[in-house]
Amino acid sequence: MFGNVSNHDRYNTALVCHRWRFLACHPRLWLRVERPIRDAMEPGVYPDLEAAVSAARPGDTILIAAGGSHVACNIQIKKPICIIGGGDLPDDTVLTCSRGFDKFPLIGLSNSALEFLSTCKIANLTIRAELGCCLLHRGGRLTIQECLLQCEQNPLDHLSFPIISTAIEYDPFSSLKEQGHGVTVVRTRIEGGARAVRTNGTLALRHVRAIYSRSSVFFWFEVGEKVEAPVH
């Protein structure tokens, strides 16, 4: 029945039916990142996030084990997937991008932990960048839910941003099948950097909301198509 459709279309079709949705989304089918790996022969378990992303198919979910710090630097994500931290809190699962991993130090491209070129979701993670940005959004619709984005303080704070978006809305030269790009941030803590979001493309920050607790500030906002002011 599904033989002539792509993995992504097959996954979306499965979500329509409760029974198929259970088969498509059951946690036993998730890819897992564990360090160290308990059983090297166990299928679906990988030593690092980059290996898991490479093995993932469109629609897959990757669960990162809590505890310790996982290295993530300039990992390109070109397919729709979901990445979830395995702890009770975002602080339990940390992705760290060190300045020493910068692949492009001479041409001004920002170092990032994760680079998104497709529609994706990340949840329950702490993403820490020593210099550069935590997340680089180049295309697709990115959802960031209940995370902590943290730029470490240093003399070059003006070069650090938790989120950078370079997406161009309705780019006729885009290789993405679906047009329409944006970032949605839900109940996420943001610390450090010159400002929370830098937009180098045609998108703009909008619908900002913040809730202050005793120890943290939680943000909700969107990065989407600029709304032109009406001409009177």
**Distance (Å, whole) CA 136 – CA 148:** 15
Contact between residue 51 and residue 34 where contact means Cβ atoms under 8 Å apart: no
Crossing angle for the helix pair 18-25 and 7-14, to the nearest 10 degrees: 130
How many distinct structural domains can be found in the chain? Answer: 1
Q: Which structure tokens are listed for 16?
A: 């329509």
Give the H/E segment covering residue 9: helix 7-14
Omega prior to 43 cis, within 30 of 0: no
pLDDT, tens digit (0-9, with 9 covering 90-100), for 17-53:
655 555 556 677 899 998 776 766 778 999 999 999 9
Pairing of β 182-191 and β 217-225: antiparallel
- 179 occurs within a structural domain: yes
Q: Which structure tokens are listed for 132?
A: 């550069």
Which of these ranges, 18-27, 166-175, 194-203, has the smallest mean pLDDT? Answer: 18-27
Contact between residue 26 and residue 73 where contact means Cβ atoms under 8 Å apart: no
Contact between residue 37 and residue 47 where contact means Cβ atoms under 8 Å apart: yes
pLDDT, tens digit (0-9, with 9 covering 90-100), for 51-82:
999 999 998 999 999 988 899 999 999 999 99
- 167 occurs within a structural domain: yes
- 195 occurs within a structural domain: yes
- 24 occurs within a structural domain: no
- 2 occurs within a structural domain: no
- 10 occurs within a structural domain: no
- 22 occurs within a structural domain: no
Q: Find tokens 């564990």 and name the residue.
A: 34
Band the pLDDT of 211: cuts 50, 70, 90. very high
Domain containing 125 equals 33-225
- 91 occurs within a structural domain: yes
